[in-house]
Each structure stands twice: as C-alpha cells, then as structure tokens.
Amino acid sequence: MLRHIGVNVRDLVRAKSYYDEFMPFLGYELHISAADQFAYRPISDEHGSSFFFYPSLEEATYSRHQPGLQHLAFMVDSRDEVHKIHAKAEALGSEIIHPPRLFPEYRPYYYATFWLDPEGFMLEVLCLREETNG
C-alpha cells in the first residue's frame, strides 16, 4: 500500500487554499500545516495514503504530458459524490477536462470526472459502483 506522496507546488499558499476546499469531501483531514509544507491524511487516521505538499525549489512549468506525475485519482462511494466534487471543482474555477460520465473503456461502471488544479495537476474522482442514476 502506498503510504504517502509528496508534490511540489509553485505557490504553497494558493495550493493549500485550493486543497483545503475539497480534501474533506474526499475523506481527508489536514494533518500538517507549516510555513514550508502542508499535508492531508485520511480522516481519523484511517488506512490510506497521505498527501504532502512542498514549495518547489526550482522554477519550471508543469505538464502532465511530460515525464512525471500524470494525474491523481480518488475513489468515492457514489456517483452523487462524483457530482458534488465536480461542482466544487467548478466553483473553484478549475478547468474541467471531463464532466462526470461513464468511462466503459476503463472498466464496467467506471464513473468519473477529471479537472486541473491551479498547478495544472490533473485530478480525478471516480466511483466503481453500478448505479442507474448518474
């Protein structure tokens, strides 16, 4: 099991403000908040991966099409949650790559939305449950 992942960002304050808005919807709580980093862990320290954010020490542009991080995906329990997080991403002014829909080319019942955070990182929220609404 992956214990944690660290991500460098150009603007730590902007990134924290952004992630503070939706990580609770994904079952994460703020774990560390310092001048040089912040991190989220699963609520109540449940099993799962933590996410650490650090200020980048070098100037560079990010592209998910270059070697490195392509995207981060979070699993939720219902399609309704996918829609709620999509609405949150829209409210935050995120660029939406794919609105909520089925992606049967990935696997049956793969229901997801994709968007970009302020750094350009592609984020995904998905549900793997069979549901008739959507």
The domains of the chain are located at: 1-56, 69-134
The domain made up of 1-56 is a member of CATH 2.40.50.140: no
The per-residue pLDDT for range 62-121, each reduced to its tens digit, is 888 887 888 999 999 999 999 999 999 999 999 999 999 999 999 999 999 999 999 999
- Three-state SS letters, the chain: CCCEEEEEECCHHHHHHHHHHHHHHHCEEEEEEECCEEEEEEHHHCCCCEEEEEECCCCCCCCCCCCCCCEEEEECCCHHHHHHHHHHHHHCCCEEEEEEEECCCCCCCCEEEEEECCCCCEEEEEECCCCCCC
Return the CATH class of domain 69-134.
alpha beta
**pLDDT level of residue 133 (50, 70, 90 thresholds):** low
Q: What mean pLDDT do residues 30-36 have?
A: 96
* CATH topology identical between 1-56 and 69-134: yes
Q: What is the pLDDT of residue 24?
A: 93
- pTM, 2 dp: 0.90
